[in-house]
Structure 1
Amino acid sequence: MTVENLQSQRTNVASGLPPLNGLKAFEAAGRHLNFRLAAEEIGVTQGAVAQQVRGLEQTLNAKLFERLPRGLALTEEGRKYLAPVQRAFRLIEDATDEIRPQQAVLTLSVTPSLAGKWLVPRLGAFLQSHADLDVRVVAGEGLANFQSDGVDIAVRQGRPPFGPGLTAELLFPFEVYPVCSPALQAGKHPISKPEDLARQVLLHDAHGLWPLFLEQTGVAEPMAMSRALKFSQTSLALDAALAGQGVALASDPLVEDDLAAGRLCRPLEITMKSDMGFYIVAPRSPRNADHVKRMRDWLIAQSRADRELN
């Protein structure tokens, strides 16, 4: 036992209170009924927990545990004492939380593909420049319920309006084009014109845009002749493209990093434009207006920087 702990114990005893370290050790051991697990939780040795509990028992002149071959059992005195000690610790925790400055939290809901392919690799920069704000990212396809889900701001793919009382600001236009791995393009059946897609596996996602893309390019045969792999999310179709399993349709924010790194390539310089887009969606009167504004401004700045690079 350190000098500081001994002095603290003497002070507590003199004031009628048992030693705090002994109470902490007793409470943890009472929950786990095991000195080793209590020691791991508190961050001390098993021997220290046992010593602190013995010291508490001596102070109280009461036996709190039965020492068993495979653990502990609370005595009648121990059971009576444990509940009020736990309540006291909860009161201290609650009082501490009330006066301790709380870290601000912003909850951002975003589609899984955009989260994994675009947002997450850039999010560290936001956290560095907004150190006072914790960010919680929720990945989902459906539009968040801003009242019941605790979501502050969302990014969704679609067409506005997204609902009454919501604002929608364009983050990225939705323009798709074929992508594949360089190894597939350099293989036995390279793609130089849309008709060459007939020899490839077309990787479909939940948006099902391949028929519309082929129709707009004036080619109907490849759809009937080519094989298909279907995925529930765009990110899975892109992972298959990265693995050389076929050709996927993608938009800039989802593949710009892979294109720049040479992991994917564009075999055809054909782009299909759409009236859909990725939109920043938020309530007109958000709960945390300043936090929402900071995230919205950062998202737009990232989008603008990406478009300037391209």
Structure 2
Amino acid sequence: MFAHLPSLNSFRAFEAAARLRSFKDAATELYVTPTAISHQIRQLEAQMDTQLFERQTRSVVLTREGEELLLYTHRALKQLQSGVNHIRRQASTITVSTTSAFASLWLVPRLEAFRQQHPDLDVVLKTGESKEDIEHDKRFDVAIRYGHCPVSDPQSVLLIKETLSYLASPSYCEQVKTAANATIFTTRWQNAGLPAIEPSLESLTPAAAASVNIRYFDQESHTVQAALAGQGIALISTLLVQQPLSEGWLIPHPAFASSQKTGLEYYAVIPGRHRQTAAIQQFVTWLQQTLT
């Protein structure tokens, strides 16, 4: 279709010389010699059978045909540059689909560390509770999912298996020292495919178990906030509250200090088109190393 078009280098040389009205200045801009610019333009004129410049002693002047070609050439090169820039930006941007809680409570606080290791890569987060079809939806490059990692799926990479603990603020632990009449916040997911996190009360006396008030949120971040506010005990993944734990904002509740539950798994899903993409591999490797 484009077999009879002159070379791109000829158009680049012509556009620079026409815009700058100088072969010498065009050569400087394109890091070549004035002779190379002159050769490219003579070749272009020969292929088009049209004179594009009037050569004068110390300058060049566009002919009418040269002025017309400049308009087309500048527009085409500008559009080509725009397309290249768009694709280049896409190649350096990783769009991640993940849950709101994982993004806000774990990933966002650590993203700067990834950027420092990979300053040429940018991570864009798209959060939600539904599973995106990233194999066919090219808006997403990788997904971080919560549930059971399908071990037989070559596109899924296990990141970590979580542990759930009963955590509360120091003030709540001081106020409510036993399980009797305690309030436990836990999560009942919007995603019906995930099992609700139910407190284990078997170790309590029937009277104490009956007095426990269990309240549900559909977002783990809400469960955490309720515990931080001193309203009760959060049955929550310790992975998502590493900072509140290290700062002492949340501590194991004395009535459940030895009680832990095995939770679900976080795993990455890489669509087939990105199985060999270096940027995606670097991001998933960083996740594995940071979560370990």
Residue 79 of structure 2 corresponds to residue 94 of structure 1: yes
Output one character per residue of 1:50-108: Cα deviation in whole Å (capped at 9) or x when no partner: xxxxxxxxxxxxxxxxxxxxxxxxxxxxxxxxxxxxxxx99776343134472211111
Aligned equivalents of 1:214, 1:202: Cα separation in 2: 11
Q: 1:226 to 1:261 in 2, by over 3 A?
A: same
Aligned equivalents of 2:75, 2:225: Cα separation in 1: 47
Deviation at 1:222? Answer: 4.2
Secondary structure of 1:161's match?
Answer: coil
Q: 1:202 to 1:290 in 2, by over 3 A?
A: same
One-letter amino acid matched to 2:148? R
Decide whether the 8 Å contact of 2:162 with 2:239 is kept in 1: no
- Between Structure 1 and Structure 2, how many residues are aligned? 212
Match for residue 266 of structure 1? Answer: 252
Aligned equivalents of 1:276, 1:292: Cα separation in 2: 24
Q: How does 1:227-242 map to 2 (within 5 A)?
A: 227-242=213-228
| Structure 1 unaligned residues grouped into runs of 5+ | 1-10, 15-88, 191-195, 305-310
Q: 1:151 to 1:222 in 2, by over 3 A?
A: farther
Q: 1:223 to 1:136 in 2, by over 3 A?
A: farther
Give the alignment partner of residue 264 of structure 2, picking from 253, 263, 276.
Answer: 276
How many percent identity over aligned positions? 28
Match for residue 167 of structure 2? Answer: 179
Give the alignment partner of residue 117 of structure 1, picking from 94, 98, 105.
Answer: 105
Q: How does 1:74-89 map to 2 (within 5 A)?
A: none
Secondary structure of 1:109's match?
Answer: strand
Secondary structure of 2:257's match?
Answer: coil
What TM-score does the superposition give when structure 2 sets the normalisation length? 0.63
Q: 1:90 to 1:183 in 2, by over 3 A?
A: farther
Match for residue 70 of structure 2? Answer: none
Output one character per residue of 1:24-72: Cα deviation in whole Å (capped at 9) or x when no partner: xxxxxxxxxxxxxxxxxxxxxxxxxxxxxxxxxxxxxxxxxxxxxxxxx
Residue 177 of structure 2 corresponds to residue 166 of structure 1: no
Deviation at 1:286? Answer: 1.9
Secondary structure of 2:274's match?
Answer: coil
Q: What is the RMSD computed on CA atoms of the aligned residues?
A: 3.0
Aligned equivalents of 1:129, 1:202: Cα separation in 2: 40
Deviation at 1:271? Answer: 3.9
Bigger relative contact order (CA 8 A; separation at least 6): 2
Match for residue 200 of structure 1? Answer: 182
Aligned equivalents of 1:279, 1:178: Cα separation in 2: 24
Aligned equivalents of 2:104, 2:182: Cα separation in 1: 26
Match for residue 247 of structure 1? Answer: 233
Q: 1:284 to 1:198 in 2, by over 3 A?
A: farther
Aligned equivalents of 2:267, 2:114: Cα separation in 1: 19
Q: Which runs of 4+ in 1 moved over 6 A?
A: 89-92
| Structure 2 unaligned residues grouped into runs of 5+ | 1-17, 22-73, 190-195
**Which is further off, 275-284 or 243-252?**
275-284
Deviation at 1:175? Answer: 1.4
Q: How does 1:1-310 map to 2 (within 5 A)?
A: 94-100=79-85, 102-103=88-89, 104-146=92-134, 147-148=136-137, 150-161=139-150, 166-169=155-158, 171-187=159-175, 189-190=176-177, 196-207=178-189, 208-211=196-199, 213-215=200-202, 217=203, 221-267=207-253, 268-274=256-262, 276-286=264-274, 289-304=277-292
Secondary structure of 1:214's match?
Answer: coil
